[in-house]
Structure 1
């Protein structure tokens, strides 16, 4: 299992960060520019990663003000889980951690680890920008 993650502190209360992340419609704002054909509902998102793959994700688990877990709806290039964990740092500051867990063979790990880490870093930074 390959685990890729990054965290940031956001100057918003925990519940506000959770509410934003709990709606897949908001996740388009966190995506890099190589993502297109985005369609979403509150629970699902479908999009294309330029020169790579089409992906459809759904929120499979919600733990109020703690964690959101997304998994592929359709077959993905490899088994993958996306997880947002949020913890209070104080009453007005939330620590958000984005974790990608992927089953990668050695070849896929060499090819995918870099892009997946960039995606995690980008989304964490965008979440901080979007929520201020």
Structure 2
């Protein structure tokens, strides 16, 4: 299963956007309002839970400065990746698209497609404001 967020424009360079997304602490500012838990587990790992959903641990797996950051599930029952693709528009503007990829059986895919799609759209929508408030 592959889900893509809408592309969002950020008033920061690709490098600044990459640095923001490279710091897992910053993901707290991107989370939806219905977050019930957010915990930093290490320099490259965090845990979050949305109301009514199980806790998910994400770990930074791979980076390609300043164009891509790959977060992956760290443990748990499902294996997936959340990929941040960053494109430079000009020296002060970049564009970000989040991609969720995972292998699920048909029943699981049907159950999680809606909530995951809404989740990555929210992360993307919150990004321009969250990144702009960082110096």
> TM-score surpassing 0.5?
yes
Matches within 5 A, 1:26-105: 26-40=26-40, 41-76=42-77, 78-105=78-105
Residue 131 of structure 1 aligns with which residue? 131
Residue 13 of structure 1 aligns with which residue? 13
Residue 2 of structure 2 aligns with which residue? 3
Judge conservation of contact 1:10–1:128 (CA < 8 Å) in 2. Answer: yes
TM-score (norm 1): 0.91
Size of the alignment, in residue pairs?
A: 130
Judge conservation of contact 1:22–1:42 (CA < 8 Å) in 2. Answer: no
Give unpaired runs (5+ residues) of structure 1.
none
The alignment's C-alpha RMSD in Å is 1.3
Give unpaired runs (5+ residues) of structure 2.
none
Deviation at 1:131, TM superposition (A): 2.2
Q: Compare 20-29 and 37-46 and name the one that shifted more.
A: 37-46
Deviation at 1:35, TM superposition (A): 2.0
Q: Deviations over 1:19-57 (max 9, x none)?
A: 100000000111112222211143110122221211111
Residue 114 of structure 2 aligns with which residue? 114
Task: Please state whether the residue corresponding to 2:97 is helix, strand or coil.
Answer: strand
Deviation at 1:89, TM superposition (A): 1.1
TM-score (norm 2): 0.90
Judge conservation of contact 1:45–1:58 (CA < 8 Å) in 2. Answer: yes
Instruction: Could you list the structure 1 runs, at least 4 aligned residues long, displaced by more than 4 angstroms after superposition.
Output: none
